[in-house]
Amino acid sequence: MEAGPPAAVPNNAPAPPEPQSLPEGWNELRGSTEIQFEPVEALPPPPPEPPAEPGWLENLLQGLFDGLGALLSPIGRLLGASWPVLQWMLLAAVILFVAYLVLRTVGPLKQGVRKAKDKNASSVPEWQPDEQESIALLGDADQLAAEGRYDEATHLLLVRSVIQISEARPDWVEPSSTARELAALPALSHAARSAFGIMSERVERSLFALRALDRSDWEAARKAYSDFALAKIEGPQEASV
């Protein structure tokens, strides 16, 4: 069957839609070379860098650690296996150590150590202030006292007494030692401690109570120094040959 001629379009049929008009300047924008409209392909990430070869120091340390691990691993396994017994042994050792410290501080061990020190001190040769030095010191102090400077004279005796003690036994006198502490030194004889206490009491009254010393104070201090200079003090133990 043959197709007939196309049907005629009626004159009153609507016209086909016109393409939507482009905005003004669109062609100029698309034709610009400063703007890229073509799709951009993302570049693949660079391959990871291979790890650096270890240097001689790293190889040496690694070998050392490997050797220590091989050496200590049997010990670690042994300790791990015996830990139930080992923990009680360690606890007992700690208790014994604490008990030793307590006894040494406040118990019979302290008394034993003190007795040993006293025994050693009794065998140490005694020291006595130099007679000529003591006479010269008394002469200097007497000159100050003759001028009525009793405070300075008494202070001079005390300072020189401290110097004599520090020269005899440097371990007795520290920079922070006070006159009262030195007067209570157990190594000094009773007469020396009494004399030193009299001098230090006068000097403290002069310095801290701001009370000037009179002639009676000076005479008491002078007699105290004379007793101190004649008293014997334990001297340093001579090194054994």
Q: Are residues 150 and 226 in the same domain?
A: yes
135 shares a domain with 105? no
The answer on 132 and 113 residing in a single domain is no
> Are 186 and 202 in a shared domain?
yes
Return the pLDDT at 111.
59
Is residue 241 scored above 50 in pLDDT?
Answer: no
Residues 119 and 171 placed together within one structural domain of the fold: no
Is residue 25 in a domain? no
- The answer to whether residues 170 and 221 belong to one domain is yes
Domain membership flag for residue 178: yes
Predicted local distance difference test score (pLDDT) of residue 221: 86
Judge whether 159 lies within some domain: yes
Buried b (16+ CB within 10 A) or exposed e, 77-94: eeeeeeeeeeeeeeeeee
For residue 222, which of 164, 163, 153, 165 has the smallest C-alpha distance?
153
The better pLDDT of the pair 231, 29 is held by 29
Compare 190 and 127 and report the one with higher pLDDT.
Answer: 190
For 127, phi then psi, to 5°, come to: -120, 145
CA terminus-to-terminus distance, the chain: 148
**Pair 221, 136 in one domain:** yes
Quick one: 132 and 219 in the same domain?
yes
pLDDT of residue 115: 59
pLDDT of 211 higher than 60: yes
Tell me: do 139 and 227 sit in the same domain. yes
pTM over the 0.75 mark: no
- pLDDT above 60 for 114: no
Average pLDDT of the chain, as a whole number: 74
**138 and 117 part of one domain:** no
Number of structural domains found in the chain: 2
DSSP reduced 3-state for 140: helix
Residue (of 141, 124, 105, 126) closest to 224 by Cα position:
141
Residue 74 maps to a domain: no
Residue in the block written with tokens 């700690």: 94
* Residue that finishes a domain, picked among 62, 97, 123: 123
- Which positions ≥6 away from 198 have C-beta within 8 Å? 220, 221, 224
Cα separation, 202 vs 151, whole angstroms: 8
Under the banding of pLDDT at 50, 70 and 90, the label for residue 94 is very high
Q: Both 102 and 161 in a single domain?
A: no
Q: Is 10 within a domain? A: no
Structural domain containing residue 133:
126-234
Flag whether 58 is in a domain.
Answer: no
Distance CA 169, CA 151 (A): 27
Same domain for 183 and 212, yes or no, is yes
In one letter, which amino acid is 19? P
